[in-house]
Structure 1
Amino acid sequence: MADFWLPLLLAVSAVWVLRAWRARRFGNKARKAATYTYPPGLEPYPLIGHLPQFLANRHRVLDWMTEALERQPTATFVLRRPGGVRGAITANPANMEHFLRASFDNYPKGPKFASLLHDFLGRGIFNADGEAWRAQRKVASHEFNTRSLRAFVARCVHSELHGRLLPLLRRAAASGAGARLDLQDVLERFAFDNICRVAFDHDPRQLPDDGDDGTAADGSFADAFRDAANLSAGRFRYAVPGFWKIKKALNVGSERRLRESIAMVHDFADGIIQSRREEMLRDGFEKHDLLSRFMASQDATYSESEVPLRDVVISFLLAGRETTSSALTWFFWLLSSRPDVRRRIRDEVAAVRARRAQGGVDTIVGFDLDELREMHYVHAAITESMRLYPPVPVNSLRAETDDVLPDGTAVQAGWFVAYNSYGMGRMESVWGRDAREFRPERWLSPADGTFRPDSPFRYVAFHAGPRVCLGKEMAYIQMKSIVACVLEELDVAVDGAYRPRQVASLTLRMADGLPVTVKPRRNC
C-alpha cells in the first residue's frame, strides 16, 4: 500500500510547486500593486502558505479565523493555501455589501465551489450561477411569496410539533429518571420530517407519532441524505485542495461512501418525482408542496425533466434540514445559562395567550401566524443566537475579475472571497464591546419593544443581496413555534459544565450533540 501512496503524494507535491511557480510567474497588475501585512504568527510560509497554522487550529478553525480577522485593522485576512491558491476572508460589512450586492455579478459561487457539491446538488439553486440560478430563483421567489405556501408550511410545522416533537419531550419529562436525550439529533429529525413534507409531501417519520411504539419508519433515505451532506461538506476541509478528486477517481474511502449515499438519495428522489408526475397526470390533483409547485410552473425545464426537479428539491431539503436545527440547537444551549431570557420569553408567550383568551378563543393548540408575529422578544432571542452561532458560518464566492474591496484589499481574478458570519458576530468594530454577549435586547426598539432588524450586510445569517434566503420567514415560523410551545410547558436543562465542540459540516453543528434533561416546567 505504501508503494502506491508515496508516488501519489509526490505527484501531488509536484503539482503544488508548479501551481505556486505559475502564480508567482504570471501575477498580474493587481497582484503587483497589492501589499499584504500580517501580524506575528500569521505570516504565510513559502509554497505552503498558511497550511501550518491551519493544521494547528483545525479543531477550532472558526475561532482561529475570527482571531485572525480581529488582528487585522480592516477585518479582512488574505489566506494563502498550498499551490499558490489565495483568497480574502472578511468580516467587514462594507466588503460584504460590495460583493453580495453592488458587484454581485463579479462574485459568483464559481466552478470550484460548484464542483465540490455538484455530485450531490447538481445544478440546484444553491449550487448554480448565472442564468441557471436566475431561472430557478424566479420560480422559487414567486412560490415562496404565495400565501398558500406559507399556510402549508405552518400546517406542516404544527402537525410535526404537536403530533411528534412535544409528545416525545413530554414522555422524556414524565420518565422521571433524569434520562438524557440528544436535542440536536431530535431537532434534526424534526427538521427532516418537516422539510420532506414541505418539499415533496413525503413523511419519512424520523420522529415517531404520538402513541407509536417508538419504532420509526425505514430511515435509509434519511441516513443516506445525512451521510451525503456530511461527506460532501468534507470536501471543503481538505488541507490539500482537490485531493478529494484523486480519491473519487480511485473510488476509495469517503468518496466511495459518498457515491453510494448520493445514488440512494437520487434514486429515492427520482421515484418520488415519477410517482408525483403520474399522479398529477391521472388525477389532476394540485398539491401545495414545492415539488408540485415547480412541476406545475410554466417553466418547461421542470414540467418535462426529472434531473432539474431533483436538483431543486434536494437543495431545499438540504437547506431545510441543516439550518433551523443548527440554529435551535445553539439557541437552547445559550438559553440554558440565561434564566432571565427564558423568563422574558415565557412572559411574552403568556401575554399572547392572555390576549387570545380575552378574545374568547382559547381552544386552539399552538399559535397561529398572527400570534407568532406578536412575539417580538422570541424573535429577538432567536436572531441574537444566530448572530453568535449562524447556521452557515462561512460562505465562499469567486472573483471573476481583478477588484479592490472597499477596505482597500486588492483581489485578483480567480481568488476566492469568503464572508465569515461567525467572525462578524464577534467583531467589536461591528457590534460594540458587548459583541460576544448573548443580548436579545440589542434587537428591540427602546421606544416600544418591537423587533428592529439590522443591516443584512452586518447580519448575514440569511445572506443578503440577490441571494437573500427565500425561506427566512418560514424558518422563523418553525423556530418561533418550537421555542414558544416547548418553553411554555417544559424545562430543557443542559449541564452547566458542558461545552460543545464545533464541527463544520455544511452548517455549524455540535460534534457530540446536545445532551439535555427535559422536565415539567417550574414556575419560572
Structure 2
Amino acid sequence: MVDLQFSTLLFLSISMAFPLILIFLLKNPNPNSAAKTYPVVGSILTIWKNKERRVQWISDMIISTPTLTFTLHRPLGYRQMFTANAANVQHILKNHFYNYPKGATFRTILSDFLGDGIFNADGDTWKFQRQLASHQFNTRSLRKFVETVVDSELSDRLVPTLAIAASSAAAVDLQDILQRFAFDNICRIAFGYDPAYLLPSLPEVEFAVVFDEALHLISERFNSNIPFLWKMKRALGVGKEKQLREKVGEIREFAKRITREKKEELRRKSSLESEDLLSRFLSSGNSDEDFVTDVVVCFILAGRDTTSAALTWFFWLLSSHPEVEEEILREMKQGRESDDGGSYDEVKSMVYTHAALCEAMRLYPPVPVSTKSASCDDVLPDGTVVKKGTRISYHPYAMGRVEKVWGPDWAEFRPLRWLDHAGGKWSFVGRDPYTYPVFQAGPRICLGKDMAFLQMKRVAAGILRRFRVLPAEESVAPVYVSDFTSKMKGGFMVRIQERGEP
C-alpha cells in the first residue's frame, strides 16, 4: 500500500510538471537532434519524438559518438547505455561474461511472458536449459531437420500456398506466410507437434494474433521510460497491463496444452523414442508444468520470429537487386548439378546465398538490440565507466552501419563483402561474432544459428527456384519496427509469379 501511495504521489508530481515539459518540447522541435537532457525528466522529450523510430534514432546517436557508446538519460535519473563498439561487445559477452547477466530488472519485466525460460534466465537455470537444448543442434539433428521437417513444410504447404497466390495474381503478405512457416517448423522440431498454421487457405490463427499483440505490449513495458507506471497498472489490473495478462494467459495455456499432450505421449512409451526438445526436458526429470511452459514459449519466440524476419527483409532486398537474385539462381543450378547428397548437402554448399543472408541481416537484424545488466562496477575497453545495476545494450542494428567497419558503402546491399573468389569459386569470409553479433556471441551465442541458416537457405532455394517475388507497391519502402524481433510495419505485401512467366 505504501508503494502504491508513493507511486500515485510521484505520478501526480510529474503530471503537474507537464506544462514545463510542453515548453521544452516546443523549444526542441527537431526529432533527429541530440538527446538533450533536463533535470528530473532526462531526455524524455527527444525519446517521445522518436518513439516511432526508436531503433533507428538510438543507432544514429551511437554512431555520432566517437567511442560508439551512448548513454540515454531517462526520467528520474535512470540511465541506459548503448554500444556498437566491438571491443565493448566482446568485453560484455565473453571476457566479463559473468558481470553482465540478464539481471533482475530484465527478468522482472519479462517474467510474466517468458518466466524462467532460456532467454530470461541466468546462472544454473540458464546452464541447464542450454545443455539440454544443445543436443537438438548436432549434425545428425540438423540433417534430419532439413530433410524431413523443412522439406515437407516447403513442398506440402509453402510452395502450394505461393502457387495459389501466383495463379490468382492477388497480393499476399509474405511476412505473415513466412511466420506461419517458421511457427510450424519450430513446433515440429522442438515439440514434435504440428500446428498446421501454414495452409493454402491462410486460415485466421488466433494464437498468432495474440502472440503478436503480447509481444507488442511486453515490448512497450520493456521500453517504458517511467517503469513505476506499468507496475502500478499491473498491480491495479487496468489498461494495457490487463490486456497483457489476458493475452499471456492464452499463450501459456496453449503451451501447457502442448506440454500435457507430450507428457501423455511419453507416459505411453517405455523409452524416449521422440527426439524433440520438449521430450528431452520432460525426460530429464523436470516435470514442473510452469517451468516447461516457460521453455516452450521461449522457443516459439525464437523459432517463429527470427528466421521469418530475416527472410522477409532478404526477399525485399532481392526485389531491388536482380543481379544478386541471378547469382543465387546460378549457384542453386550449379549445386544441383554437382551434388547428389540431398537437400542438406545442397544448402550447405550455397555459399553466395549464405553471404546474401548475412548481408540482409547486417542491414536489418532480426534482433536489433540486446540488453544486459552490470552486476558490479566496471570500465569498458573504450573507457566508459559502468556502475553496478546499469542496463547496457549492444546494438546490432547500429553495428551494421559503422563506416569504419563496413566501409563508405555500408548502406548498400552487397553480398560480395562477405566473399572471396579465389580459384574461380566463392568462399565465405565471415566476421568475428563481436563485430557482427546478430546471433549473439560468447557463452550465450545462439544454439540455433546453423539450423537457422539451413532453414533460410532451403526456403530461399525452394521459393526462388519456382517463383519471382515482387513487391505489390514497388515505390514504397517498408518501415523497420521492432518488438524484440524486427518486422515490416504492416507486413510485406507481394505478388507471386511463376518463373516461367514473363
Say whether the fold is shared (TM-score over 0.5): yes
Decide whether the 8 Å contact of 1:114 with 1:127 is kept in 2.
yes
SS of structure 1 residue aligned to 2:468: strand
Decide whether the 8 Å contact of 1:491 with 1:522 is kept in 2.
no
User: In the alignment, does 2:241 pair up with 1:252?
Assistant: no
- Partner Cα separation in structure 1 for residue 34 and residue 486 of structure 2: 27
The equivalent residue for 1:185 is 176
Pick from 295, 319, 340 the counterpart of residue 336 of structure 1.
Answer: 319
The equivalent residue for 1:261 is 247
Q: Deviations over 1:75-114 (max 9, x none)?
A: 1111111111112100000000000000000001111111
The equivalent residue for 1:108 is 101
Decide whether the 8 Å contact of 1:401 with 1:412 is kept in 2.
yes
For 1:301-340, list aligned pairs within 5 A.
Answer: 302=286, 304-340=287-323
The equivalent residue for 1:21 is none
The equivalent residue for 1:24 is none
Decide whether the 8 Å contact of 2:116 with 2:291 is kept in 1.
yes
SS of structure 2 residue aligned to 1:466: helix
Distance apart, 1:7 and its partner CA:
10
- Partner Cα separation in structure 1 for residue 461 and residue 320 of structure 2: 18
Decide whether the 8 Å contact of 2:146 with 2:344 is kept in 1.
no
The equivalent residue for 1:290 is 277
Pick from 247, 257, 260 the counterpart of residue 274 of structure 1.
Answer: 260
- Specify the code of the residue in structure 1 equivalent to 2:11: V
Question: Which stretch shifts more, 162-171 or 258-267?
Answer: 258-267
The equivalent residue for 2:481 is 503
Q: Deviations over 1:229-287 (max 9, x none)?
A: 23222212323234221221121222212211222222222222222222212223621
SS of structure 1 residue aligned to 2:428: coil
For 1:509-524, list aligned pairs within 5 A.
Answer: 509-521=487-499
Distance apart, 1:466 and its partner CA:
0.4
- Partner Cα separation in structure 1 for residue 71 and residue 302 of structure 2: 29
Pick from 379, 384, 401 the counterpart of residue 354 of structure 2.
Answer: 379
- Specify the code of the residue in structure 2 equivalent to 1:496: E
Q: Deviations over 1:429-467 (max 9, x none)?
A: 221111111110111123241112110001111000000
- Specify the code of the residue in structure 2 equivalent to 1:102: N
The equivalent residue for 2:392 is 417
- Partner Cα separation in structure 1 for residue 147 and residue 15 of structure 2: 51
With the length of structure 2 as denominator, give the TM-score of the two structures.
0.90
- Specify the code of the residue in structure 2 equivalent to 1:445: D
- Partner Cα separation in structure 1 for residue 293 and residue 417 of structure 2: 41
Decide whether the 8 Å contact of 1:153 with 1:198 is kept in 2.
no
For 1:50-449, list aligned pairs within 5 A.
Answer: 50-145=43-138, 147-148=140-141, 150-152=143-145, 154-175=147-168, 178-208=169-199, 214=201, 216=203, 219-284=205-270, 286-297=273-284, 300=285, 302=286, 304-356=287-339, 368-447=343-422, 448-449=425-426
Change (3 A) 1:277 1:154: same
- Partner Cα separation in structure 2 for residue 222 and residue 134 of structure 1: 29
Q: Please, what is the CA RMSD of the aligned residues?
A: 2.4
- Partner Cα separation in structure 2 for residue 230 and residue 142 of structure 1: 32
- Partner Cα separation in structure 1 for residue 146 and residue 231 of structure 2: 39
Decide whether the 8 Å contact of 2:469 with 2:497 is kept in 1.
yes
- Specify the code of the residue in structure 2 equivalent to 1:454: R
Question: Which stretch shifts more, 222-231 or 443-452?
Answer: 222-231
Decide whether the 8 Å contact of 1:322 with 1:506 is kept in 2.
no
Distance apart, 1:296 and its partner CA:
2.5
Q: Deviations over 1:414-436 (max 9, x none)?
A: 11111010011011022111111
SS of structure 2 residue aligned to 1:512: coil
- Partner Cα separation in structure 2 for residue 286 and residue 52 of structure 1: 58
Residues matched between the structures, number? 480
Decide whether the 8 Å contact of 1:208 with 1:215 is kept in 2.
yes
- Partner Cα separation in structure 2 for residue 295 and residue 92 of structure 1: 41
Decide whether the 8 Å contact of 2:177 with 2:198 is kept in 1.
yes
SS of structure 2 residue aligned to 1:433: coil
Change (3 A) 1:523 1:81: same
SS of structure 2 residue aligned to 1:396: strand
Distance apart, 1:16 and its partner CA:
11
Identify unmatched segments of 5+ residues in structure 1.
Answer: 1-5, 18-38, 362-366
- Specify the code of the residue in structure 1 equivalent to 2:184: D
SS of structure 1 residue aligned to 2:469: strand
The equivalent residue for 1:452 is 429
Identify unmatched segments of 5+ residues in structure 2.
Answer: 17-31
User: In the alignment, does 2:465 pair up with 1:488?
Assistant: yes
With the length of structure 1 as denominator, give the TM-score of the two structures.
0.87
SS of structure 2 residue aligned to 1:283: coil
SS of structure 2 residue aligned to 1:461: coil
